[in-house]
Structure 1
Amino acid sequence: MEKVRFGIIGAGGIARRRTIPGMLQAENIEVRAVMDIVNAQEIADEFKVPRAYNSLNALLADPEIDAVYIATPVNRHLTQIMAAAACGKHILCEKPLTMNSADAAVAVAACKKAGVYLQEGYMMTFHGAHQAIRQLIAAGKIGKVVYMRAQLSCWYPPIPGAWRQDPAQGGGGALIDMATHLYDLLAFFAGPINRVVAFTGRQVQGYQSEDSSTTLLEFAGGAHGTVDAFFCIPDEASRTRLEIYGSQGSIFAEGTIGQSQGGTVEGIFGIGAGGYDAAQTKDVARSFAPVPFAELNPYTAECAAFADCILNKRPPQVNNGDNAIRIMKITEAAYTSAKDGCVHVIK
């Protein structure tokens, strides 16, 4: 088998905007079928996909589908993962994997029992800039990582039927939908998250899900991090900044967090060995150098990596099922912290 034949479950939304176009660019993937309860045939025609289904069971019964990509509301993920695993289909599922960590554990166990691979759709770790940043950190270019900040905000006003605005369907709002992307990304750079404290709120938008979230993180290596994710900041007002500070330098990025493949990265390296500067002059010129990176479509890279695992019978190492459970535990700890005001340890 030279290509993995995918069926898309929930082919509207992010699947239609980003993931299907990304899959079509991957050399090791064939998009064989789409399933959508609203406009499956229209989407199939748009992307020249051979088959369109309007039910989950019909798609899963297709013997020419090797793997599925699930992009439905979160409250449907567990049932669909279980059904796909029972049919022997490998599963790439959008984030968050499930509504809670207990369901995530059930989903992961079902996939392991069925012998199918499961990967969660946190595509930002596949962005070319983030791959380059990880390599710089691993090479010790900024010394020990001591603090990171990641920002992802957008303007998301009330929209009739929008499942992310209903906690019963999405599990929450800005925190579970966007902040979790950044929990995963910062852990990709600095290792496991050990402690969490968070604030959430509904400051501007009128729906039930939170439109505001700020999280303070502590990593196993001692580094600190903050994640700010909001549904109530205009898109033009946010630069989606990523800041990583180390004992010997720092790395700054703009425009790399999100759904695009571009952005800019710069860094300053090999400093921090001198003595204490009592003058603390902060208006001196800083010698930041551009950091080159390959502009890869993160959706293509994510899907191609998963297909490569299937073709080579190698379980996913990035965003695998065990990581999905941990991200859900961090998410639950953050929401609990927002209610009780306490720091929570991730076990």
Structure 2
Amino acid sequence: MTIGFGFIGASDIAKNKMLAAIRNTPDCEVVSVYSSNFERGRAYAAETHIPHAASSLEDLLANPAVNAVYISTTNELHHPQTLAAAQAGKHVLCEKPLAMSLTEAQAMQAACQAAGVVFATNHHLRNAQAHHKMRELIAAGAIGKPIAARVFHAVYLREALQGWRLDKPEAGGGVVMDIVVHDVDTLRFVLQANPTEVVSLSQHFGMSAGTVEDGSMAVFRFDNDVIAQVHTAFTVPYAGNGFEVHGTEGSLIAKNVMHPAAQPEVLLRTARGDQFLELEANEVYSVGVERFVAAIQGQGTPAASGEDGIWSLAGALACLESARTGQKVAIKL
């Protein structure tokens, strides 16, 4: 059976990442797109060769050719759009962060469970081969007992994305909701542990004109007692990116693993010396789509479930609360 996707949101990521990922997955196609601006949606459909531009969300969800939706609208819209999709019996792959609050995200998960549809979060970074290798080595004891981790994920937000992310806190703008959610999810995946508390500082360096934070530095504690430093920013052009995990018997030192377009490098350092891991390039968005489709077909689970998305949202919200109050904040669902 061909699985028809409807795009809710005529977004940059949908066009430049997800469209190819879906079309490259067997028996999948994008059959409709909905934008809040119909003329923009119609132009988007023509440019991307999507056969139908929906005039409304209801129009898209009523389309019998749409079996699943990919939601990439601004963050405050994810909750009502997911509820509507679930009520219409459509499977849901939603961008991160899932919602603006844990209550909303949990309601989204409950609605999809009640409707019997698959609910997944588009956390693409956990699909990278580098992170799978790091997870496997840590689980196998290659670095002994993990002690500490460090994620550096500071970027320069390109001009095409410098819109609502910088001036609309009501839409979930700011670097924490945009990037820290990814870092929390990647840490959870690699460490196979959940965050329990965080202390955080936010930075307002000027890109956002003070309306939302454009930089953040946080320290998370996980339930395996690992502490992890996370640095994110919209304002840093030359930092590169990386992910380190240090243990009692060794360290994993990874570079270019927090951006799927970069060439990854992972070094295992132990008493036996340095060993670079053999890595193959993989299409992280395609992996996410393939796992989502397999789950729809009753073959396994999504790469990142709704619960995974709720955990990453919880970490990001606690990070913002810590920066606001100057206090350490507990993380719990």
1:274 maps to none
Give 1:98 shift: 0.3
Give 1:315 shift: 4.5
1:72 maps to 73
Give 1:292 shift: 1.3
Aligned mate of 2:314, from 318, 329, 332: 329
1:303 aligns with 2:289: yes
1:26 maps to 25
Distance in 2 (alpha carbons) for counterparts of 1:301 and 1:313: 14
TM-score normalised to structure 1 length: 0.89
Distance in 1 (alpha carbons) for counterparts of 2:235 and 2:7: 31
1:252 maps to 253
1:55 maps to 56
Give 1:249 shift: 1.1
Distance in 1 (alpha carbons) for counterparts of 2:262 and 2:69: 24
2:230 maps to 227
Distance in 1 (alpha carbons) for counterparts of 2:262 and 2:9: 23
Within-5 A mapping of 1:124-163: 124-156=125-157, 162-163=163-164
1:240 maps to 241
Give 1:314 shift: 4.4
Give 1:100 shift: 1.0
Change (3 A) 1:337 1:196: same
Distance in 2 (alpha carbons) for counterparts of 1:331 and 1:145: 23
Q: Which amino acid aligns with 1:75?
A: E
1:213 aligns with 2:216: yes
Q: Is the 8 A contact 2:291 2:301 kept in 1?
A: no
Q: Is the 8 A contact 2:182 2:312 kept in 1?
A: no
**Partner SS state of residue 141, structure 1:** coil
Change (3 A) 1:81 1:142: same
1:289 aligns with 2:275: yes
Change (3 A) 1:128 1:43: farther
**Partner SS state of residue 47, structure 2:** helix
Q: Is the 8 A contact 2:202 2:215 kept in 1?
A: yes
Aligned mate of 2:194, from 192, 195, 210: 192
Distance in 1 (alpha carbons) for counterparts of 2:135 and 2:261: 18
Q: Which amino acid aligns with 1:196?
A: V
Q: Is the 8 A contact 1:101 1:328 kept in 2?
A: yes
2:15 maps to 16
Q: Is the 8 A contact 2:153 2:233 kept in 1?
A: yes
Distance in 2 (alpha carbons) for counterparts of 1:300 and 1:313: 16
Change (3 A) 1:299 1:247: same
1:267 maps to 268
2:179 maps to 178
Unaligned runs of 5+ in 1: 272-286
Distance in 2 (alpha carbons) for counterparts of 1:327 and 1:302: 17
Change (3 A) 1:259 1:11: farther
**Partner SS state of residue 289, structure 1:** strand
Q: How many residues align?
A: 328
Distance in 1 (alpha carbons) for counterparts of 2:190 and 2:274: 20
Distance in 1 (alpha carbons) for counterparts of 2:260 and 2:14: 12
**Partner SS state of residue 179, structure 1:** helix
1:118 maps to 119
Give 1:158 shift: 7.7
Distance in 2 (alpha carbons) for counterparts of 1:295 and 1:138: 22
**Partner SS state of residue 288, structure 1:** strand
Distance in 1 (alpha carbons) for counterparts of 2:144 and 2:51: 52
Q: Is the 8 A contact 1:6 1:30 kept in 2?
A: yes
Q: Is the 8 A contact 1:151 1:242 kept in 2?
A: yes
Distance in 1 (alpha carbons) for counterparts of 2:4 and 2:166: 33
Give 1:324 shift: 2.1
RMSD (Å), alpha carbons: 2.0
Change (3 A) 1:188 1:270: farther
Give 1:160 shift: 9.7
Q: Is the 8 A contact 1:142 1:270 kept in 2?
A: no
Q: Is the 8 A contact 1:29 1:304 kept in 2?
A: no
Q: Provide, for residues 80-100 of structure 1, a one-character-per-residue CA deviation record: whole Å limited to 9, x for no partner.
A: 101100100000000000011
Q: Provide, for residues 158-200 of structure 1, a one-character-per-residue CA deviation record: whole Å limited to 9, x for no partner.
A: 8798121134443240111001100110011111111111111
Structure 1 or 2, whichever has the larger Rg, is 1
Q: Percent same amino acid among aligned pairs?
A: 30
Q: Is the 8 A contact 1:129 1:295 kept in 2?
A: no
